[in-house]
Amino acid sequence: MTPDEFREYGRQVVDWIADYYERIESFPVLSPVAPGHIRAALPEHPPQHGEPFDAVLRDLDRTILPGITHWQHPSFFAYFPANASGPAILGDLLASGLGAQGMLWATSPAATELETHVLDWLAELLGLPSAFRGNGVIQHTASDATLVALLAALHRASGGRTEGAGVRSGRFAVYTSNQSHSSVEKACRIAGLGADALRKLDVDPATLAARPEHLRELLTADRAAGVVPALLVASVGATGTGAVDPVAELAAIAREAGAWVHVDAAWAGVAAVAPEFRWLNDGLELVDSYATNPHKWLLTNFDCDTFWVADRTALVSALSILPEYLRNAATESGAVIDYRDWHVPLGRRFRALKLWAVIRWYGAEGLRAHVRKHVELAQEFASWVAADDRFEIVAPHPLALVTFRLCAGDEATLELMRRVNASGELYLTHTAVNGGTALRMSIGSPWTERRHVEAAWAALSR
């Protein structure tokens, strides 16, 4: 495609996206297609000869859109948000255009330095501890962040021996709340510890936050049995209900036992851009690593998980291998960061550009306004639920997630969910709370206004 063809088709695509946002409310939020429907509409074989780009746009409308669940729809209340925004889309487009691959500092110094710099900006905006400055990196997802935190923890707990000798069944343990994301168990499996190494902490039934006393009991038992506590993963805004663990208390206990402390604040952490939500950071001065996802609730297209370590030594030691074909003067000088040593992949996209564009376009005030709007709408929604005798709220909801159910029971609650989702008017999902089923009203689309939340409540309470 020549530069001039790119200009022409590029404008068509930009207009297609602008049009998409203008008509997004005309689509059912949840795609209604049956399994196999999309594949059946696609040609069986790839084309022998090239086609004009218009054909792709035509088929996007005809064939692909019916199979899209519209995550950017203002009435998307499922899971957690996956914010897109104009500046992020365009920042990412610039990254695609440059096509620079920043595996090493030397392979595009700006890709590395802008990333370190913008993560310092974000750390400042969130009010993170100063130990994280200069020690930030963009990971693919929070699952990847948890995995590399575990690898750094194993390096530290073993004095570096695991890199050569590997792990030994039953030697190390990992601790996390029974409300934590499934990625903690996945990381234990990937890192060779197995799910048996995972100790799930009981939670307070009212707050659904991990109980520090239970952590202390488990640590005592493990140490008595010769098991090494490697990692504690505390959740700030757990996936099911948004539960916030008591990080300071948990971290103090875990540190005493020598464990690495990682905080997974994938969804909730970014709310700390607003000073009234800085309490989310309580205890972070005691932790070893921290992750939050601008690609969830901070207007930055997927993928952009931001991850910081208080000391990079263990992380880099766990992941660094230097073959001859990657040697270069800058790396050997020790004066630069080579981000390839901070995660699983070697190659890396210039993802800092989109985060840079987002922070500059919105500024601190714009980011705060974004988060505040959703929290206010969620609080208002919660007040409507609380005032209706047929419903009950099942967990604290200090941010933009409200978990609630029909008093009539689990089956009625699930049936209500199925009915509203099938209507296409909104989309929300469910979770398990204290053995029962609850619905999750998760508010976070940049396009959501009060009228969308009102309409959702009207549909739910109809």
Q: Which 131-170 residues touch its own copies, going by CB under 8 A?
A: 140-144, 147, 151, 154, 162-170
| 457 touches its own copies (CB under 8 A) | no
| Distance separating alpha carbons of residues 273 and 339, to the nearest angstrom | 26
Q: Which of residues 1-60 bind its own copies (CB under 8 A)?
A: 1-7, 9-11, 13-22, 30-31, 33, 35-39, 42, 45-51, 53, 55-56, 60
- CA geometry: angle 52, 57, 63, nearest 5 deg: 120
Among 207, 379, 423, 429, binds its own copies (CB under 8 A): 429
Whole-Å CA distances, 419 to 39, 74, 224, 353: 27, 19, 52, 41
Please report how close the Cβ of residue 87 comes to its own copies at its closest, in angstroms: 6
| 300 touches its own copies (CB under 8 A) | no
Q: How many CA atoms lie within 13 A of 316 on its CB side?
A: 16
Identity at 64, one-letter amino acid code = I
129 versus 446: smaller Cβ distance to its own copies: 446
Whole-Å CA distances, 303 to 43, 207, 295, 296, 360: 30, 30, 6, 9, 19
19 versus 256: smaller Cβ distance to its own copies: 19
Strand partners, 427: 76
18 versus 458: smaller Cβ distance to its own copies: 18
Among 83, 135, 177, 292, binds its own copies (CB under 8 A): 83
| Distance separating alpha carbons of residues 349 and 304, to the nearest angstrom | 11
Place of tokens 């008093």: 407
Q: By three-state DSSP, how is residue 389 classified?
A: coil
70 versus 405: smaller Cβ distance to its own copies: 70
The number of residues that bind its own copies (CB under 8 A) is: 160
Q: Which stretch binds its own copies (CB under 8 A): 186-194, 228-236, 254-262, 373-381?
A: 186-194
Q: Which of residues 188-227 bind its own copies (CB under 8 A)?
A: 188-197
Please report how close the Cβ of residue 349 comes to its own copies at its closest, in angstroms: 5
166 versus 383: smaller Cβ distance to its own copies: 166
Residue 247: alpha-carbon gap to chain centroid? 19
273 versus 375: smaller Cβ distance to its own copies: 273
| 279 touches its own copies (CB under 8 A) | no
| 75 touches its own copies (CB under 8 A) | no
Whole-Å CA distances, 135 to 233, 237, 312, 322: 19, 23, 7, 21
185 versus 249: smaller Cβ distance to its own copies: 185
Contact partners, residue 40, CB within 8 Å, separation at least 6:
none
Please report how close the Cβ of residue 411 comes to its own copies at its closest, in angstroms: 15
**Secondary-structure breakdown of the chain: helix, strand, coil percentages, each rounded to the nearest 5:** 50, 15, 35
CB 353 within 8 A of CB 95: yes
| 326 touches its own copies (CB under 8 A) | yes
Kind and range of the H or E run holding 189: helix 183-190
Strands laid side by side in the 429-433 sheet: 391-393, 401-406, 436-442, 429-433
| 422 touches its own copies (CB under 8 A) | no
| 111 touches its own copies (CB under 8 A) | yes
From residue 363 to residue 402, what is the string marking binding to its own copies with x (rule CB under 8 A)? xxxx------------------------------------
| 405 touches its own copies (CB under 8 A) | no
Please report how close the Cβ of residue 175 comes to its own copies at its closest, in angstroms: 16
Among 295, 312, 397, 452, binds its own copies (CB under 8 A): 295
Kind and range of the H or E run holding 76: none
| Distance separating alpha carbons of residues 108 and 91, to the nearest angstrom | 17
Please report how close the Cβ of residue 258 comes to its own copies at its closest, in angstroms: 19
211 versus 295: smaller Cβ distance to its own copies: 295
| Distance separating alpha carbons of residues 259 and 241, to the nearest angstrom | 26
| 82 touches its own copies (CB under 8 A) | yes
Please report how close the Cβ of residue 398 comes to its own copies at its closest, in angstroms: 19
Please report how close the Cβ of residue 214 comes to its own copies at its closest, in angstroms: 20
344 versus 407: smaller Cβ distance to its own copies: 344
Among 26, 159, 182, 462, binds its own copies (CB under 8 A): 182
Structure tokens at 435: 């053995």
